[in-house]
Amino acid sequence: MSSISRLPIASISCLTLLATAICSARADENRYGPFHLLDHRSIYGQYWFPEPLNADEADVDNEVRLDWFHGEHSGRQDDELKLEIEKSFGLFTFEVAPTWQSDRSHEIDPLTRMSVRTRDEGFGNVELGARFPFFQYVSPSQFFDTTFVVGMEATVPTRTRISKDWELVPKVFNLTRIGEHLAIQTGLGDSILVGPEGRGLSTLEYNASFGYELTPDELRLPGVLSTWPLLELSGENTLNQEDTGHNQLFGTAGFRFNFETIKGWPAQPRIGIGYVFPIDQGARNEFHWGIVTSLIFEY
């Protein structure tokens, strides 16, 4: 008879309870944060997720980012420059982002048959934002890793011709890693305009970004740590007023290149470029095609 079988039933029960308690304690060691809803094993906050090209981002970041967008439509050209500075404190990430916009158009006057050109340009709203993760799940094998993030964005008007309204956007994000290479980032928010032009206009903003990491083992490029092919969807759906139900859905296809740290610099450069295209009729009415580029320095 084995030594275990000779133990009293009460002792065996105690050993079972102790083993269960130890397993539970080990599981709890991975949990932290408010209500123990976060997981130390998560890759969130480790700078693995690629910064989207045209969609909202929600990872923990310390970076300076400069974006330029150019869009073309029949008789109209749109440009936007955006400088974004992000700083994290633990898992809290705060950002400030001033913008500059230029909208140029020309048309033929039906009476004089002369070309009429117009230009509206100036500083756009200054964006202020904050975000924090509130739930994480990591599978036992760590093959599946998902994080939910809550965020709030407020944009301050600069009182120029193109910036008159305040904007408030509560948001929820999800960042998921599947396997070693696939990243899926999604976001959902309600944009509310407060001011003389928007007058309470509410718009549902939604986006999804799909990326696949190519390491030097799969694609070796000089000075590049990782290459990310990206496919993104970004849309808006009007929830009230005259245009209720109006939808605009855009796609963006491109790449993000994460470079090695420059010698003598504390920052790591990341370069992105993408082609923006309309998917539905609402988007086609906005522009026919566009180009987006971004330069990021992680610090």
C-beta neighbour count of 55 within 10 angstroms: 23
Q: What is the mean pLDDT of residues 168-173?
A: 98
Tokens of 68: 């330029």
CA atoms within 13 Å, Cβ hemisphere of 12: 7
Distance CA 226, CA 258 (A): 5
Summarised one tens digit per residue, pLDDT across range 29-48 is 899 998 999 999 999 999 99
Q: What is the mean pLDDT of residues 108-120?
A: 74
Distance CA 198, CA 17 (A): 62
> Using CA atoms in the order 124, 130, 135, 141, what is the torsion angle rounded to 10 degrees?
80
Summarised one tens digit per residue, pLDDT across range 131-160 is 999 999 999 999 999 999 999 999 999 988
The domain locations on the chain are: 1-32, 35-298
pLDDT given for residue 4 in this prediction: 40
> Which has the closest alpha carbon to 197: 160, 246, 235?
160
CB 105 within 8 A of CB 137: no
Q: Identify any residues that bridge with 202 across adjacent strands, giving them in sequence order.
A: 192
CB 175 within 8 A of CB 146: yes
Please check the confidence at residue 263 and state whether its pLDDT lies above 80.
no
DSSP H helices, 52-177, are none
In the block, residue with structure tokens 């005259």: 242
Summarised one tens digit per residue, pLDDT across range 48-102 is 999 999 999 999 999 999 999 999 998 889 999 999 999 999 999 999 999 999 9
Distance CA 160, CA 297 (A): 30
CB 209 within 8 A of CB 232: yes
Q: Give the pLDDT band of residue 25 (cuts 50, 70, 90).
A: very low
Query: What one-letter code names the amino acid at 202?
Result: S
CB 185 within 8 A of CB 172: no
Distance CA 144, CA 137 (A): 8
In this structure, CATH architecture of domain 35-298:
Beta Barrel (2.40)
Distance CA 142, CA 175 (A): 14
> Using CA atoms in the order 244, 73, 169, 234, what is the torsion angle rounded to 10 degrees?
90
In total, the chain counts a number of residues equal to: 299
Name the pTM for this structure: 0.86
